[in-house]
């Protein structure tokens, strides 16, 4: 394992120190926690928006803290959900009296820790609502499993909920629009190489020289199948097909597209993937409102990408286009 | 048999010893079907628990288990932090204000803990989770009405080993589907260690 770190047990702390040092005009860290909040939190008259999860997915989630998106991000250990006491501190720090919305990715640990935090906050008299993002179409949701995972499409949910809360909407309204966003976003990913968690010191899974894993989650969890390497066009087609199977899109529909790199994929390759994605959408006469290309939710140094489609209506477009000023996303 | 603050402290201290000794084993079980941090997380959490309760004087069982719960919630993380944290929180509520619990009260408190685990994790027996140890152990205790130390330990062990044959339906292992068969569930293994520690604490 070769990594630019000091101590495997200090990576999250060291990362947060470096982040806050760079952006101290807009972010601060709650003392004694791994919580990053916007400098002006709690913002008067605004519903607080809190998200987070394990670290190692940078710029998610702290990169989306700022005007128009999140009020706080809670950073767990690498690939490990943050604990309820940390989430509770975030909730308390961003509540202006209008309540707080938690945006949670659908992983067992994340859901349980955030739910406990919500219960603790409610016991302290804070109104808390929750939305669970489950955009990954690779794993089927049924009553027998945890359901679909939350991956890169979560960033779209942050954007929409953040935009509406910035306008002074109520907790109920912000929760409703976040749920609507969740219903309209679908993603699917694939990996070319695994990644190495610093404290583990060895790759989380193995892939042969000519193998790829289709349908991985953002921790490299296995997805649909291990297959031999294909062209970018074929991969784009495979991922989109699976998304189309799950999402009803018709001629004339409008979407936002995200081609998300998982940490070790050059932009060149992401553009190549998007060439095919845009061709397929054009063929289907689906209008692309905007395309995000780059690293939005990574998986350490894993190579590969995910594709997300976000179906928009007039109201969602208005919120999508609203201003945002965060480290990783500006509008 | 009487279960007071002394026995409860002994339970947590033995549990910590077991978990420290089995840290690597728990992590290996988790690497096979999960994300490979169960041993590390549990060892960190129970080390803190052992330190905290050894250095504190408790008037009653409720306040002792509340400290256990809060420490696990804050220090373990992942899914097992909230699950074990909730279990001990429910125990602390069931034993609030009690200096000592008789057999019936201890069984009722463990029953409350299982209720908490199931409500938090939304898991039922047969889904390859810690419930596959807790539920049969509680069935046995309900039937007996008291805690038979040695039998509890053997039953918990047998049920932990039985999770090998199950297909995971909950947690990260569920994404592996059939590929999860053949591996012991890490949460059922740490639950076995807890029951084995309880048995030992009651025997002494």
Q: Which of B32, B183, B79 minimizes the C-alpha distance to A204?
A: B32
DSSP secondary structure letter of residue A9: G
Mean pLDDT of chain A: 94
- Here the tokens at position B106 are 């201890």
Whether A108 and A95 have beta carbons less than 8 Å apart is answered as no
pLDDT range class, residue A197, cuts 50, 70, 90: confident
A231 touches chain B (CB under 8 A): no
Report which listed range, A282-291, B145-154, B174-183, is most confident.
A282-291
> What tens digit of pLDDT does each residue of B11-28 get?
999 999 999 999 999 988
ipTM over 0.85: no
Tell me if B82 and A217 make a contact (CB, 8 A cut-off): no
Q: How far is A113 from chain B (nearest CA, A)?
A: 6
Is a pLDDT exceeding 60 seen at residue A328?
yes
B28 touches chain A (CB under 8 A): no
Cβ neighbours of A194 (radius 10 Å):
20
Distance of CA A47 to the CA centre of its chain: 20
pLDDT given for residue B1 in this prediction: 65
pLDDT range class, residue A142, cuts 50, 70, 90: very low
**A219 labelled catalytic:** yes
Burial of B21 (0-12, 13-18, 19+ CB in 10 A): exposed
DSSP secondary structure letter of residue A216: -
pLDDT given for residue B49 in this prediction: 97
Q: Which of A158, A219, A287, A289 is catalytic?
A: A219
Give percent above pLDDT 90 in chain A.
83
pLDDT given for residue B179 in this prediction: 80
A265 touches chain B (CB under 8 A): no
Q: In sequence order, what are the beta bridge partners of A102?
A: A50, A130
Cβ neighbours of B168 (radius 10 Å):
25
Q: In what order do the strands lie in the sheet with A128-133?
A: A27-29, A35-38, A72-78, A48-55, A100-105, A128-133
Tell me if B170 and A108 make a contact (CB, 8 A cut-off): yes
Q: What is the mean pLDDT of residues B69-93?
A: 93
pLDDT given for residue A216 in this prediction: 84
pLDDT range class, residue A199, cuts 50, 70, 90: confident
pLDDT range class, residue B36, cuts 50, 70, 90: confident
pLDDT given for residue A141 in this prediction: 55
Tell me if A83 and B75 make a contact (CB, 8 A cut-off): yes
pLDDT given for residue A144 in this prediction: 45
Q: What is the pTM of this model?
A: 0.90
Q: What is the mean pLDDT of residues B131-155?
A: 91
pLDDT range class, residue B170, cuts 50, 70, 90: confident
Q: Given the structure tokens 């012991």, which residue do they identify?
A: B184
Tell me if A108 and B77 make a contact (CB, 8 A cut-off): no
C-alpha–C-alpha distance, residues A306 and A181, integer Å: 18
Q: Tally C-beta pairs within 8 A across A and B.
A: 82
Is a pLDDT exceeding 70 seen at residue B47?
yes
Give percent above pLDDT 70 in chain B.
100
With vertex at residue A194, the alpha carbon angle to CA A193 and CA A200, rounded to the nearest 5 degrees, is 155
């Amino acid at each position: 394992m070769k990594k630019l770190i000091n101590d495997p047990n200090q990576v999250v702390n060291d990362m947060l120190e470096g982040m806050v040092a760079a952006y101290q005009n807009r972010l601060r860290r709650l003392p004694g926690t791994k919580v990053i909040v916007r400098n002006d939190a709690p913002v008067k008259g605004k519903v607080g928006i809190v998200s987070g999860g394990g670290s190692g997915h940078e710029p998610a989630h702290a990169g989306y803290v700022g005007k128009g998106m999140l009020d706080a991000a809670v950073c767990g250990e690498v690939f490990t959900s943050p604990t309820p006491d940390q989430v509770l501190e975030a909730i308390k720090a961003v509540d202006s009296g209008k309540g707080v919305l938690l945006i949670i990715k659908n992983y067992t640990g994340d859901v349980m820790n955030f739910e406990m935090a919500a219960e603790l906050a409610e016991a302290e008299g804070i109104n808390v609502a929750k939305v669970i993002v489950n955009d990954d179409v690779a794993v089927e949701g049924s009553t027998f499993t945890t359901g679909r995972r939350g991956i890169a499409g979560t960033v779209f949910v942050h954007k929409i909920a953040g935009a509406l809360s910035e306008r002074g909407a109520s907790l109920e309204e912000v929760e409703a629009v976040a749920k609507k966003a969740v219903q309209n976003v679908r993603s699917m990913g694939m990996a070319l190489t695994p990644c190495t968690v610093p404290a583990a010191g060895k790759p989380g899974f193995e892939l042969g020289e000519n193998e790829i894993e289709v349908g991985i989650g953002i921790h490299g969890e296995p997805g649909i199948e291990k297959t031999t390497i294909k062209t970018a066009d074929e991969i784009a087609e495979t991922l989109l097909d699976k998304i189309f199977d799950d999402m009803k899109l018709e001629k004339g529909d409008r979407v936002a597209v995200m081609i998300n790199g998982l940490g070790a994929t050059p932009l060149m390759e992401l553009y190549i993937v998007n060439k095919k994605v845009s061709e397929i959408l054009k063929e289907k006469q689906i209008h692309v409102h905007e395309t995000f290309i780059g690293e939005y939710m990574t998986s350490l140094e894993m190579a590969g990408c995910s594709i997300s489609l976000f179906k928009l209506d007039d109201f969602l477009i208005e919120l999508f286009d609203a201003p945002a000023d965060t480290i990783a996303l500006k509008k | 048999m009487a279960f007071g603050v002394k026995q409860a402290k002994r339970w947590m201290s033995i549990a910590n010893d077991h978990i420290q000794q089995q840290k690597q084993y728990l992590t290996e079980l988790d690497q096979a079907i999960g994300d490979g941090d169960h041993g590390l997380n549990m060892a960190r959490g129970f080390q803190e628990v052992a330190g905290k309760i050894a250095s504190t004087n408790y008037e009653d069982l409720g306040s002792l288990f509340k400290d256990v719960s809060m420490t696990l919630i804050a220090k373990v993380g992942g899914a097992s932090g909230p699950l074990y944290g909730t279990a001990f929180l429910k125990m602390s509520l069931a034993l609030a204000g009690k200096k000592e619990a008789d057999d019936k009260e201890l069984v009722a408190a463990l029953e409350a803990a299982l209720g908490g685990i199931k409500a938090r994790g939304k898991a039922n027996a047969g889904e390859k989770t810690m419930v596959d140890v807790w539920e049969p152990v509680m069935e046995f205790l309900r039937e007996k009405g008291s805690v038979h130390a040695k039998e509890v330990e053997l039953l918990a062990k047998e049920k932990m080993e039985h999770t090998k044959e199950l297909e995971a339906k909950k947690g990260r292992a569920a994404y592996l589907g059939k590929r999860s068969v053949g591996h012991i569930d890490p949460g059922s293994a740490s639950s076995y260690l807890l029951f084995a520690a309880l048995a030992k604490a009651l025997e002494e």
